[in-house]
């Protein structure tokens, strides 16, 4: 049974046990800017999702829903209890799973997750993926803090585990999360069922595949320190540094590389302090020199997202999504929750029902083509950019022009210079996906 600590934390049960391969690729980068770091009175969120090179990421809109009491919800691997009401969400997700790498809900909550390995061993059994926890938090949380409580509660009850890639060779990890809403952000870092959280009420912050919360802990699992002491990782006296206590003593190569990306991300945010905009965040996500725009061996940035969350609740939140890999050669397209918001078919992958390799046991023994229409067109465009210089430059310019059109529309909207009917606002993402599709036709 769950019970709450006086700091709004949950009591732990037993940790999960498993193994981890130090050669497994892993990378992602999340960023947030809270005024006064932002150039406008808004929280700005951003993420690059770095995944296996051939993995397709789709953009899925799920409307708000009401559910029968006691009903069950099938996530990627396991079922959980459904709640009576869920919020509308927009998700950028690997198309083979239920959860999401990043997304937002109708209340202006955004979340991105990262892979992390700690001294706590990774579970072998199938449980909730970090990506499942992310989607569940968006569907159930109306603020960043409420979404954080959703994750920690589900983590306590169901645990985290299961393979995080579409491959017969398991790829398992624990998770860190960056959560944001119109007023603040939270960093949540986990080690098995244990966790620590840090509240960000001003300034800029980033996370990159490593524990980053030191002694500045705003909330924590009540068994965090007792467990660390019992394991001999902390002496029980003096300051408690979560990252120092729970990080692996010998970091694998990939996690050492993540440190460099983390520092580069900090520097890029610092350079833009007080002037961070959606465009500035897009520029950071496109930084190849830092490794933030990933293209390394079997891994690359497969999708990206930037969100503007105005502090004024009368203004709409705007979420820019690529739905395609490599943000340096993709278009960030604006999505706004509204009357006309609906699923855009061009960014939805095909489904395979009971024959899907994720559903058939043993899992992932076959491969299927999950490419959606926009992904296919973008693939052709990337090929032209690499093989035909003139044609490639023309395509890249058309991408830039289209993205600028979206940014200008959003600027006008937030400055109250443009007031389209609700149906048009809700259909904005659809309109820009169709325009991008015509660029590649």
Catalytic residues: 28
CA count, 13 A, side-chain hemisphere, 28: 26
End-to-end alpha carbon distance in the chain: 56
Chain CA centroid to CA 81, Å: 23
């Amino acid at each position: 049974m769950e019970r709450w600590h006086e700091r709004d934390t949950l009591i732990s049960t037993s940790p999960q046990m498993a193994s981890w391969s130090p050669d497994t690729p892993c990378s992602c980068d999340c960023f947030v800017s809270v005024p006064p770091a932002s150039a406008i009175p808004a929280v700005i969120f951003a993420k690059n999702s770095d995944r296996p090179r051939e993995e397709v990421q789709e953009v899925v809109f799920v409307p708000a829903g009401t559910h029968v009491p006691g009903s069950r919800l099938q996530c990627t691997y396991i079922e959980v209890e459904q709640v009576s009401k869920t919020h509308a969400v927009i998700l950028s997700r690997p198309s083979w799973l239920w959860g999401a790498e990043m997304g937002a809900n109708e209340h202006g909550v955004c979340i991105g997750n990262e892979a992390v390995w700690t001294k706590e061993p990774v579970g072998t059994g199938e449980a909730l993926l970090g990506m499942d926890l992310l989607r569940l938090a968006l569907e159930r949380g109306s603020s960043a803090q409420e979404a954080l409580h959703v994750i920690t509660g589900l983590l306590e009850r169901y645990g985290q585990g299961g393979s995080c890639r579409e491959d017969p060779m398991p790829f398992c990890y624990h998770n860190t999360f960056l959560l944001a809403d119109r007023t603040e952000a939270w960093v949540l870092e986990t080690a098995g069922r244990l966790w620590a959280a840090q509240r960000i009420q001003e300034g800029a912050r980033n996370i990159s595949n490593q524990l980053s919360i030191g002694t500045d802990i705003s909330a924590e699992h009540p068994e965090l320190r007792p467990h660390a002491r019992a394991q001999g990782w902390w002496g029980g006296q003096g300051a408690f540094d979560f990252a120092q206590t729970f990080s692996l003593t010998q970091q694998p190569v990939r996690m050492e590389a993540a440190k460099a990306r983390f520092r580069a991300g900090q520097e890029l945010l610092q350079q833009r302090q007080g002037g961070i905009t959606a465009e500035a965040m897009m520029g950071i996500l496109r930084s190849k020199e830092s490794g933030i725009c990933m293209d390394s061996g079997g891994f690359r940035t497969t999708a990206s997202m930037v969100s503007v969350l105005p502090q004024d609740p009368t203004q709409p939140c705007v979420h820019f999504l690529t739905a395609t890999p490599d943000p340096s050669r993709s278009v960030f397209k604006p999505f706004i929750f509204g009357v006309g918001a609906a699923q855009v078919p061009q960014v939805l992958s095909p489904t395979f029902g009971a024959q899907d390799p994720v559903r058939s046991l043993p899992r992932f023994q076959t491969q299927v083509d999950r490419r959606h229409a926009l992904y296919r067109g973008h693939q052709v465009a990337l090929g032209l950019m690499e093989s035909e210089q003139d044609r490639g430059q023309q395509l890249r310019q058309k991408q830039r022009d289209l993205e600028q059109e979206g940014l200008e529309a959003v600027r006008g909207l937030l400055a109250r210079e443009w007031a389209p009917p609700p149906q048009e606002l809700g259909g904005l993402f659809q309109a820009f996906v169709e325009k991008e599709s015509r660029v590649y036709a």
